Amino acid sequence: MALLVKHLHAFVTESKLTKEEWMKGLEFLTQSAAITDSERNEFSLLSDILGISSIVDVVSQPVGGTSSSVLGPFHSHDSRLQPNGVDLTGDQPGDRTWLHGYVLDQEGHAIENAEIDFWQNADNGLYPAQDSAQDPHNLRCKIKCAADGSFNLLTIRPHPYTVPTDGPVGALLAASNRSIWRPAHYHVIVSAPGYIGLVTELFPQESDYIDNDTVFGVREGLIVPFVKSSNVEIANRYDLDAPFYEVKFDFKLVKQT
């Protein structure tokens, strides 16, 4: 607290903050509180667009594993456990994408009993919480990885997305001439007994806004190619028209000490 107060005071002194400006600041916080409830948290969004979530993430990241990234507001604790290899697509639109890889330790050995928690937005750019036409479980699942650490699932290519702009944070972004967009991404939480849990994202390398994520979540090691594939075994398994997209990514976890 002492350090926080020291820096807040330094900010007021250096910027020669006026009473009117401080009143505006308090109004901003009051408006943020007014629209925050169990479904929506404007303070989390403020933390995200100020880059605070991201820098907290970077300074608390254990050394040696896959980079972590922001959690965002659309994770669900009720995600269903699905078999490894699940097809999440059903009959919805979207470019079919086979996501696969391994959960490994720092030496590159398979981790047993690893679990993946996966979620993303639909082809219209929306998450189920924003779109009542979607089943709440659409394009999300938990998977227990195989004994060799491998996981795979069929999903769709994700889409760039705007953060919610109907509250004070949206007004702040507009007033600061800031982008409201996030690049396309998959969200993944990887966990395994004895290892530090990983909250991260994967970003298609060709996505718009990859260099200008309004919540600063992109890390170099998390940008992945979406490769066109005509793998017959996978096309047959999921009854796909080739080519489909393939994304391979291995997650590295750090041991708990």
Q: How far is the CB of 100 from Fe ion (least distance, A)?
A: 21
Binding track over 133-172 against ligand BEZ, x by CB under 6 A: ----------------------------x-x---------
Contact between 209 and 181 under an 8 Å Cβ cutoff? The reply is: yes
Binding status of residue 72 toward Fe ion by CB under 5 A = yes
If DSSP codes are grouped into helix, strand and coil, which group holds residue 199? strand
Binding status of residue 189 toward ligand BEZ by CB under 6 A = no
Contact between 139 and 96 under an 8 Å Cβ cutoff? The reply is: no
Instruction: Using the minimum distance from each CB to ligand BEZ, give the nearer residue, 181 or 249.
Output: 181
Q: Residue 244 burial by CB count (10 A; 0-12/13-18/19+): exposed, middle or buried?
A: buried
Out of 51, 58, 62, 74, the only residue in the binding site for ligand BEZ (CB under 6 A) is 74
From 26-34, 65-73, 168-176, 246-254, span contacting ligand BEZ (CB under 6 A): 65-73
Contact between 225 and 205 under an 8 Å Cβ cutoff? The reply is: yes
Write the CA distances from 44 to 38, 47, 72, 126, 208, integer angstroms.
Answer: 12, 5, 8, 19, 24
Instruction: Using the minimum distance from each CB to ligand BEZ, give the nearer residue, 48 or 57.
Output: 48
Nearest to 157 by CA among 247, 242, 95: 95
Out of 42, 54, 57, 70, the only residue in the binding site for ligand BEZ (CB under 6 A) is 70
**Crossing angle, helix 168-175 and helix 42-49, to 10 degrees?**
20
Could you say which of Fe ion, ligand BEZ, none residue 247 binds, taking C-beta under 5 to 8 angstroms by partner kind?
none
Binding status of residue 51 toward ligand BEZ by CB under 6 A = no
Q: How far is the CB of 174 from ligand BEZ (least distance, A)?
A: 16
Binding status of residue 183 toward ligand BEZ by CB under 6 A = no
Which residues contact residue 161 at a Cβ distance below 8 angstroms, ignoring those fewer than 6 apart? 121, 125, 126, 181, 182, 184
**Binding footprint of ligand BEZ, residue count (CB under 6 A):** 10
Binding status of residue 45 toward ligand BEZ by CB under 6 A = yes
Backbone angles phi, psi at 54, to 5 degrees: -70, -40
Residues that bind ligand BEZ (CB under 6 A): 45, 48, 70, 72-74, 161, 163, 182, 215
